[in-house]
Amino acid sequence: MSEFELDGTTLVKYNGPGGDVVLPSGLTEIGDCAFQGCAGLTSLVVPDSVTRIDDSAFEGCENLLSLVIPDSVTWIGSYAFRNCGKLTVHAAPGSYAHYVAGVLNVPLSDQQPATSKPQSTPAVPDMSAAIEAVKGLKELLDLGAISQEEFDTKKKQLLEL
């Protein structure tokens, strides 16, 4: 099982052990409840490619101490930081994340922690060609040119499931 469960460029679920986590570059969204209840998570760096943090994304991460959120984030959902009593958000003044953390009375730091900028981050694989191929297969399925079983088999091969 992968540490990061993805749906395209959305992080659906974090399955790792926690500790200090750096999300892969190329992600655009942290999905609903993606880290919910991850007691082992202590720090997280969100890449500049992320624009959304959805509802309850970090709810119940009771040992999360540091969350670095870039200026690119323009949406933070309801209860994203609920029951994260030890959390300090690191965000630039004037950013959406800085505003939301202030409104929610989450401790803020304008400075990023010394360990927050990794040398490199793993990239999310580009699945656009595979997705386009699956769309083409779906059209063939809808036209009756291939069976549901053929569609499912090819889809799994293309998406490496």
User: 117 falls in which pLDDT band (50, 70, 90)?
Assistant: very low
CA 13 – CA 32 distance, rounded (Å): 9
CATH at 63:
3.80.10.10
Is there a single domain that holds both residue 9 and residue 81? yes
User: 141 and 81, same structural domain?
Assistant: no
For the cut 50, the answer to whether the pLDDT of residue 118 exceeds it is no
Work out how many domains the chain is built from and give that number: 2
Check pLDDT > 90 for residue 105: no
Asked if pLDDT for residue 135 goes beyond 80, the answer is no
By C-alpha distance, which of 49, 45, 37 is closest to 8?
Answer: 49
pLDDT of 102 over the 50 cut: yes
pLDDT at 119 over 80: no
Backbone torsions φ then ψ of 62, nearest 5 degrees: -65, -20
E strand map for 8-123: 10-14, 19-22, 29-30, 41-45, 52-53, 66-68, 75-76, 88-90, 108-109
Q: Which domain holds residue 27?
A: 4-109
Does 142 fall in a domain?
yes
Does the predicted TM-score (pTM) go above 0.85? Answer: no
